Structure 1
Amino acid sequence: MITRIATRVRALSGWRAHGVVLVAGLLGALALPPIYISPILLVVFPLLIWRMDVTRGWRGAFGLGWLFGLGYFMGMTHWVGAAMLVDIATFGWLLPIAVVGLAAILGLFPAVTLALVRPLWRAGHPARVLLMAAAWGLGEWIRTWGLTGFPWAPLGMTWMPFDGILQSASWFGVLGLSLMTALVACAPVLLEESLSRRMAWSLLVLTLFLPLALEGLGQLRLAALEGEEGGDPLLTVRLVQPSIPQTDKWNRELMVGNLRRYIAMSRLPGLDKVDVVVWGETAVPYAIDRMADVRAALAEAVPPGGILITGAPRVSGEGENRAFYNSLFALDGSGQVVAVFDKFHLVPFGEYVPFGEYLPLDKITVGAGDFSPGPGPRTLDIGDLPPVSPLICYEVIFPGAVVDPMAERPQWLLNLTNDGWYGRSTGPYQHFQIARMRAIEEGLPIVRVANTGISGVVSPLGQVSALLGLYEEGILDLEVPKPVQERTIFSRFGNKIPVIFSLIICAFGVFLQKRKVKYNKI
């Protein structure tokens, strides 16, 4: 049966072939949060391999990878279109361009890696499964830094519901999980009747054994480390989520009322029992460092002897030398700023316009002019609090790049964000799960506060005790657990591990293809 399906897929031509590949990419995105239809990958990746078998040279492989990527990334990042609806009169016309354009750019990554492995490809050979998995793994790594980087929701995040398997991210990161996922997803190809039954079943059992082995090892890690989380917490935080719609957030007539709402929620009973009150990204719409009256008002939200941490814009310099930053401010009970952090990884078209001197476009966020990047990542000392690595908005999506490797190791991660731009789409759900993955990789707890959700605290093992859901108004007082005692393997070596694994698997695939194996040449 598998052989008959493979033959029909290879025989497709013209618009039918292109349509099947595009739809396969769209379906592949269903494996990601918050839907998690992971078995769909067992159909999608074999189809991609069978179409790869009939490509002509690297150009054909490039086109195949791009078309598949176009569908896959449209399914993954369609939520970006919601940002264009916040000011629909100005930016509504950009919605289809944003959704399709971003997917078209991201599709270049699988396109390039499939083109690179095409000269090594032997159609019909079982070892090409290894080449496809390696190509996908390398493509996701390139996506972490290529074209400024956008490693949103890697394939390995399909395992988010499985706490045991997730622990392997502490060894080889989410990109290693993506590599393993691609390898498993390609496994049905090994059941083609053209292969030796003995070899096919041996390879299939070995491949499908991987997630079972990782689940078992992960459960052992959980059992060994959960005992460490006992005792006194690292600190206690109050997360404030007022759930102010994006359309109201920058309305000048509502700004003062919104700020009073933040302060009132922060002052609810129990304030004296927390160390830190945390608000979301640009929760304060004023330049705090230049407005003493605003700082005095914010002092009311500071817990006794504690700290208020909030996002706010920052302005530096005057006149032509003036620069704008998307910043995090920490204030004490007297309203004094005790620490500042400027966002270092800015969102293209959201916070600055690439090649702005040539493109007749404005950024979609409020305010004239582009934001400027700050230095980062950084370890920040805030009063008597444990050292922290702050991350604003999508800075948390970059595996291996959330902690300053040259500074003192932080004891926790802090992510302030504003996902109100994306409404009730899949974007906020994916963003929260991405933050969970960083906690496991680094072995550090993460505190996440979003203006409209999702807010919560994630343990260094990726476990969540309580959440403020999407568009849920409220506060949460939570204890932040301590980091794991010993640094994770991934925190020491980062993405070098999955890249090396991908290269080894690719080399092994080439080696096996040179051996005499019974298979049908296509």
Structure 2
Amino acid sequence: MIQILRDLRGWRRLALAFLAGALGALAMPPFGLLPALAVSLVLATWLADGAAEGPLGRSLLRFALVGWAWGFGYLTAGLWWLGAAFLVEADEFAWALPLGVIGLPAVLGLFYGAGFAAARLVWSPGTGRIAALAVGLAGAEWLRGHLFTGFPWNTLGMALGQNLFLSQSASVIGLYGLTILAVVICAAPATLATGGRPAGRYGPSLAAALLLAGLAGYGALRLPSGADATVAGVRLRLMQPNLPQDAKFRPENRADIVDRYIELSQREPAPGAAVPTHVIWPESAFPFLIQRDPDSLAKVGASIPTGQHLLTGAARAEEPLPGERIRFYNAIMVIEPGGRIADTYDKVHLVPFGEYLPGPLDAALRAVGLRQFVSIPGGFSAGSAAGQRILDVAGLPPVAATICYEAIFPGAVVPSPHAGEAVREPGLILNVTNDAWFGDTPGPRQHLAQARLRAVEEGLPLVRDANTGISAVVDPYGRVTAQLPLNVEDVLDADLPAAIPGRTPYARYGEAPFAALMAGALALALAARRRR
């Protein structure tokens, strides 16, 4: 059978690679089937073996095509739910649904094609090709997460990162470090059918099993056995309004929307529970500019009792300079009793085509009547990277603010210092989001899982408030301490878990451990190729 797979040519090889990639998507949330990724990568390895025959130039192209087809299948099966966003305003965007569901995976599949081609350069029969594939795919995932604004959704390392015990190593090596280990572990069984001596046949699978057990053992040792430490004097209330992206969420309904938020936020706590000190509302809370609506801002301010603070998502407008257009920002505002806006964070990492049209395409697309999903004239502007900073909220530790998918970027949720500027260490990660665009699909569940891994990497608690869910409080070890399910209107009251004392190795050294793993895997692949 293995020889049959290696002998496949043309469209048959690419079709099987596509199906193998699609199978691998079952390793992502909410399914979490790690063996599916193992079968997927083993099949990809055997297909690549067949593509390795012949001159290097031709085999590089064949490798690239196999990798592209595998990535195309993996991303199509893992991101199909993006199509739901095109149906929210179906009369305007339904025609573009294939571009999101098929076109985006096809383009992003080029990263995997490049990764397989890179692996071919150091490919050799036996164990060495497992290391080569790990280098190629981990490098491709890193590039996918950084180039062209980056899109690290469902990075392969999430196959390990969604498991509480296996994810603890992210505190040292981060998501991309988990990615290289996930590829090694899942592709290792490919050597079982390569013949040769028993050590070469069974050794990689045994080593992979030991590595997996070691990751789980480290996780079990790292997780504390006692009760979670919490921040004294802080009681959070997350308001989940469950407002759909339809006619109910229109500017003309502003009074009803604000009244609904206030009613939810003022619900009596459970008997014996502390009164909330900080109330959090989700991204895109208002279909209007509350800073320019004195009546609504005054109503919200009057609903905040003395000693309480409100953190809310809200669009914000900035007065333009002469000759410039008005700029709109997707923001988080800190509102004090009486309605004073005490602090603001503007989203830095915007969603292409969702919140803005990329510069080179902007004029051309608008000329034919197209716009981004969020109906803001000219789209949102990005906040200054130099202004990405800690939110100051009375009674809370310094807050590292993120909006929507900013929370999926490893190493980017905590502000970096800029020249002449010191950055205080945050005490929590705040993520406000609006996943109503994607309905009851894997999308919101994948979003939560990826944001949760940031808590492990940084050693910080995560407070996540989502319009339609899933709202949650996560401790710095990635354990969910409180949660509201998807598509439920309710409030969630919870204590704030304390951050881990000191910084995690990943927070201190960033991607240096990942680079060391890449160098080690590359050395193994080169050594194996040299022996051959």
TM-score range, shorter chain: over 0.9
For residue 269 of structure 1, what is the amino acid of its counterpart? E
Equivalent in the alignment of 2:337: 333
Q: Within 1, Cα distance between the matches of 2:513 and 2:169?
A: 12
Q: Within 1, Cα distance between the matches of 2:398 and 2:486?
A: 29
- Whether the aligned pair in 2 keeps the contact of 1:330 and 1:337 (CA below 8 Å) is yes
Equivalent in the alignment of 2:55: none
2:56 equivalent to 1:40: no
For residue 265 of structure 2, what is the amino acid of its counterpart? S
For residue 149 of structure 1, what is the amino acid of its counterpart? G
Equivalent in the alignment of 2:500: 484
Q: Within 2, Cα distance between the matches of 1:499 and 1:485?
A: 26
SS in structure 2 opposite 1:246?
A: coil
Equivalent in the alignment of 1:367: 376
2:354 equivalent to 1:350: yes
Equivalent in the alignment of 2:265: 266
2:128 equivalent to 1:157: no
Instruction: Please report how far the alpha carbon of residue 254 of structure 1 lies from its aligned counterpart in structure 2 after TM superposition.
Output: 2.9
Instruction: Please report how far the alpha carbon of residue 62 of structure 1 lies from its aligned counterpart in structure 2 after TM superposition.
Output: 1.6
Q: Within 2, Cα distance between the matches of 1:429 and 1:205?
A: 33
Q: Within 2, Cα distance between the matches of 1:231 and 1:14?
A: 59
- Whether the aligned pair in 1 keeps the contact of 2:71 and 2:105 (CA below 8 Å) is yes
Equivalent in the alignment of 1:192: 193
For residue 379 of structure 2, what is the amino acid of its counterpart? D
- Count of matched residue positions in the alignment of Structure 1 and Structure 2: 509
2:26 equivalent to 1:30: yes
Equivalent in the alignment of 2:168: 167
Q: Within 1, Cα distance between the matches of 2:37 and 2:266?
A: 48
- CA spacing shift, 1:303–1:196, aligned 2, 3 Å: farther
Instruction: Please report how far the alpha carbon of residue 277 of structure 1 lies from its aligned counterpart in structure 2 after TM superposition.
Output: 0.3
Instruction: Please report how far the alpha carbon of residue 508 of structure 1 lies from its aligned counterpart in structure 2 after TM superposition.
Output: 1.4
For residue 142 of structure 1, what is the amino acid of its counterpart? L
Query: CA-to-partner distance for each residue in 1:326-353, whole Å, 9 max, x for gaps?
Result: 1111100111000011000000001111
- Whether the aligned pair in 2 keeps the contact of 1:329 and 1:340 (CA below 8 Å) is yes
Equivalent in the alignment of 2:54: none
Equivalent in the alignment of 2:479: 463
Instruction: Please report how far the alpha carbon of residue 368 of structure 1 lies from its aligned counterpart in structure 2 after TM superposition.
Output: 2.0
Equivalent in the alignment of 1:90: 92
2:310 equivalent to 1:311: no
Equivalent in the alignment of 2:77: 75
For residue 36 of structure 1, what is the amino acid of its counterpart? G
- Whether the aligned pair in 2 keeps the contact of 1:234 and 1:386 (CA below 8 Å) is no
How does 1:134-153 map onto structure 2 within 5 Å? Answer: 134-153=135-154
Between 1:444-453 and 1:360-369, the stretch displaced more is: 360-369
Between 1:96-105 and 1:424-433, the stretch displaced more is: 96-105
Q: Within 2, Cα distance between the matches of 1:421 and 1:234?
A: 35
SS in structure 2 opposite 1:413?
A: strand
Query: CA-to-partner distance for each residue in 1:408-467, whole Å, 9 max, x for gaps?
Result: 110000000000000111100000111110000000001000000000100000001221
Q: Within 2, Cα distance between the matches of 1:131 and 1:26?
A: 22
Instruction: Please report how far the alpha carbon of residue 234 of structure 1 lies from its aligned counterpart in structure 2 after TM superposition.
Output: 7.0
Instruction: Please report how far the alpha carbon of residue 160 of structure 1 lies from its aligned counterpart in structure 2 after TM superposition.
Output: 4.9
Equivalent in the alignment of 1:8: 4
How does 1:346-425 map onto structure 2 within 5 Å? Answer: 346-354=350-358, 355=360, 356-359=362-365, 360=368, 361-376=370-385, 377-406=388-417, 407-425=423-441
For residue 229 of structure 1, what is the amino acid of its counterpart? D
Equivalent in the alignment of 1:236: 235
SS in structure 2 opposite 1:457?
A: strand
Q: Within 2, Cα distance between the matches of 1:214 and 1:379?
A: 33
Equivalent in the alignment of 2:177: 176
SS in structure 1 opposite 2:524?
A: helix
Q: Within 2, Cα distance between the matches of 1:434 and 1:198?
A: 37
Equivalent in the alignment of 1:519: none
Instruction: Please report how far the alpha carbon of residue 161 of structure 1 lies from its aligned counterpart in structure 2 after TM superposition.
Output: 5.5
Q: Within 1, Cα distance between the matches of 2:291 and 2:251?
A: 19
Instruction: Please report how far the alpha carbon of residue 118 of structure 1 lies from its aligned counterpart in structure 2 after TM superposition.
Output: 1.6
- Whether the aligned pair in 2 keeps the contact of 1:389 and 1:413 (CA below 8 Å) is yes
Correspondence for 2:517 among 484, 501, 522: 501
- Whether the aligned pair in 2 keeps the contact of 1:342 and 1:373 (CA below 8 Å) is yes
For residue 374 of structure 1, what is the amino acid of its counterpart? G
- CA spacing shift, 1:222–1:144, aligned 2, 3 Å: same
Instruction: Please report how far the alpha carbon of residue 481 of structure 1 lies from its aligned counterpart in structure 2 after TM superposition.
Output: 0.7
SS in structure 2 opposite 1:475?
A: strand
- Whether the aligned pair in 2 keeps the contact of 1:391 and 1:415 (CA below 8 Å) is yes
Instruction: Please report how far the alpha carbon of residue 295 of structure 1 lies from its aligned counterpart in structure 2 after TM superposition.
Output: 1.3
- Whether the aligned pair in 2 keeps the contact of 1:6 and 1:47 (CA below 8 Å) is no
Q: Within 1, Cα distance between the matches of 2:435 and 2:142?
A: 25
For residue 496 of structure 2, what is the amino acid of its counterpart? V
Equivalent in the alignment of 2:420: none
- Whether the aligned pair in 2 keeps the contact of 1:127 and 1:513 (CA below 8 Å) is yes
Normalised by the length of structure 2, the TM-score is 0.92
Q: Within 1, Cα distance between the matches of 2:233 and 2:128?
A: 49
- CA spacing shift, 1:366–1:321, aligned 2, 3 Å: closer
SS in structure 2 opposite 1:247?
A: coil
Q: Within 2, Cα distance between the matches of 1:423 and 1:264?
A: 24
Q: Within 2, Cα distance between the matches of 1:69 and 1:304?
A: 54
For residue 326 of structure 2, what is the amino acid of its counterpart? R
Instruction: Please report how far the alpha carbon of residue 200 of structure 1 lies from its aligned counterpart in structure 2 after TM superposition.
Output: 2.3
Q: Within 2, Cα distance between the matches of 1:301 and 1:77?
A: 40
- Whether the aligned pair in 2 keeps the contact of 1:344 and 1:373 (CA below 8 Å) is yes
Q: Within 2, Cα distance between the matches of 1:485 and 1:84?
A: 44
- CA spacing shift, 1:193–1:111, aligned 2, 3 Å: closer
- CA spacing shift, 1:161–1:175, aligned 2, 3 Å: closer
Query: CA-to-partner distance for each residue in 1:185-240, whole Å, 9 max, x for gaps?
Result: 111111125221123222221121111011111111113xx548336547221000
For residue 294 of structure 2, what is the amino acid of its counterpart? A
- Whether the aligned pair in 1 keeps the contact of 2:453 and 2:478 (CA below 8 Å) is yes
Correspondence for 1:114 among 116, 129, 141: 116
SS in structure 1 opposite 2:376?
A: coil
For residue 332 of structure 1, what is the amino acid of its counterpart? E
Between 1:281-290 and 1:480-489, the stretch displaced more is: 281-290
For residue 29 of structure 2, what is the amino acid of its counterpart? P
Instruction: Please report how far the alpha carbon of residue 57 of structure 1 lies from its aligned counterpart in structure 2 after TM superposition.
Output: 2.8
Q: Within 2, Cα distance between the matches of 1:496 and 1:81?
A: 37
Query: CA-to-partner distance for each residue in 1:46-82, whole Å, 9 max, x for gaps?
Result: 1111221232332222221111111111111111110
Q: Within 2, Cα distance between the matches of 1:432 and 1:461?
A: 14
